[in-house]
Amino acid sequence: MKKYGIKKVAPAGKIDYENELNPQQLKAVLASDGPALVIAGAGSGKTRVVTYRVAYLLEKGVSPEEILLLTFTKKAASEMLRRVEDLVMVDAARIWGGTFHHVGNRILRLHAELLGFKNNYTILDRDDSRVLVDTVVREAGVDTKAKRFPKGRVLLEIIGYARNTDTTIEEAVEMKVPHFLELISEIEMVAVRYARKKKELNYMDFDDLLIYFAELLSHHPEVADKYSRQFKYILVDEYQDTNRIQARIVDLLGGGHRNIMVVGDDSQSIYSFRGALFRNIRDFPNIYQGCRVYTVETNYRSTPEILHLANRILAGREDGFQKTLRPIKKSGPRPALIRTENVYEQAEFIAQRILELADEGVNLGEIAILYRSHFHSMEIQMELTRREIPFTVRSGLRFFEQAHIKDVLSYLKVIDNPRDEIAWK
């Protein structure tokens, strides 16, 4: 005899949260008011949690203008808002969503005069900032050749790190480039003049958008109160990557009503070199008493073998939140951990393994090499070139395509063949 069951169906136009989310995601999305921390492991549907949470608030009757969604990239914000729009058919443009810099800029445009700027200030990109700091160095009369003074790019890194970590220029130099400590007085002078020059010319760089946003909220309580009352619900994505200034902004905007939900993974904090503070996410429950912590552990991305290795690594941590990633995917090949003596041996192993895979019939286009930073790839690129293994670099230029490397190679080619017309050019 055939049996039939009755399945609950959400009313027309309503989201069926129970069927569209797993139990852990559901708890986080339906969380009551107050501070909440969502620890979402890698591949666990973090974006889904955030978008459904926003949709849930809208279905509860919260106005789009009363929701502030802070993300770390413009792309992430656009994707989340698009998904929200698909879920609840609301004009996503009415939601205040974007990066800290984007939201800071929107608010500063309305109140910049309180900080001594005009509201039509110009935002400097990285190249513009470098040109301006180089101008400041020249105007200050610093002999950059005699003293081997740091280049503009390095000066901006020092200044940016100091400002984002709320430390002194000297502490930033000691942390980032200690070999320049003997020039600390000149570097401090340049930092002061750079800040003064920006204000004189009505300029703000990217760091200023955060610094002045925080300053506006902390020094002008009437402004902080205005936006705290407007943003009744604040959601922050990738909270493990926030720095001291960004955490302060969140507190200044939401510390009163405390309807703050931060989402992140304390196991993925990799931006300390930019001033990110791991303790922002670790200490969140202590800072906001009564905070509820939700853990989302079902992984939709990786195989059981990969997650087993990841869980073994995470188990060795002495701090942070406990979680065990659980797989949905079927079993796959086991990951291998290869120990090499140095970067050259590592490059040799990678090249050799690629040749072995090619011999087994694997298409080279199906092989990818991932590395932490672009400069880590130099030895690998040289080894691949030496073994005549074709490759493309998806970020930045190939080692031998960089201008200064091409110049050196041209000199060598001319020495080897004075008639090489292309090398002479």
114: which residues sit within 8 A by CB, 6+ positions away? 216, 219, 220, 223
Q: What's the pLDDT score for residue 322? A: 84
DSSP helix/strand/coil, 388 = coil
CB-CB neighbours of 183 under 10 Å: 18
Q: What's the pLDDT score for residue 316? A: 75
Q: What is the DSSP letter of 58?
A: H
**Model confidence pLDDT, tens digit, residues 171-213:** 999 999 999 999 999 999 999 999 999 999 999 999 999 999 9
346: which residues sit within 8 A by CB, 6+ positions away? 340, 379, 380
CB 227 within 8 A of CB 214: no
Q: What's the pLDDT score for residue 407? A: 72
Angstrom distance (rounded) from CA 123 to CA 187: 23
Under the phi-then-psi rule, with left for phi > 0, alpha for psi from -120 to 50, and beta for the rest, what region is 89?
Answer: left
Its pTM surpasses 0.85: no
Q: What's the pLDDT score for residue 7? A: 42
Cα–Cα distance list, 228 to 310, 362, 375 (Å): 40, 56, 43
Q: What's the pLDDT score for residue 405? A: 65
DSSP helix/strand/coil, 395 = coil
Low-confidence ranges of the chain (pLDDT < 70): 1-13, 270-271, 273, 396-406, 419-425
Could you give the angle at the alpha carbon of 22 between the alpha carbons of 29 and 232, nearest 5°? 5
Q: Could you give the residue ranges of the DSSP H alpha helices within 89-220?
A: 100-111, 126-139, 152-165, 169-176, 184-200, 206-219
278: which 2 tokens? 């791991």
Tell me the residue length of the chain: 425
Q: What's the pLDDT score for residue 371? A: 86
251: which 2 tokens? 């507190």
Q: What is the DSSP letter of 276?
A: B
**Model confidence pLDDT, tens digit, residues 289-311:** 999 999 999 999 999 999 998 88
Q: What's the pLDDT score for residue 20? A: 96
